[in-house]
Amino acid sequence: MSVHKALTLHAQKQNQVFTEFSLLDRQREDYIQRAIELCKAEKDFTTDQINQITLQINVLANQRFIPTRKLVTPQMVRSYVESLK
């Protein structure tokens, strides 16, 4: 395989991983926003979906130069909502 083809394949794979990361990160932010809205409304919420996406992001991060994300606890959401008041 030529160097050019190898570099092209490498760039394509990196682009694919970054695209997947971007989609997951957006989805994670949407879930966080939903938890915040439920917390503000004093309704029950979980961080399960947030953390499921976070774990997927962190698997990608271990493979490439992608930033990891912290797992989110319900207390973190409550503290954030309290800080808005």
Query: Which residue's entry shows tokens 């954030």?
Result: 80
In this prediction the pTM is 0.78
For each successive 10 residues of the chain (85 residues), what is the average pLDDT? 79 84 96 98 97 94 81 95 94
Nearest to 54, CA basis, from 80, 17, 21, 84: 21
Strand ranges in 1-85 using DSSP code E only, listed in sequence order: none
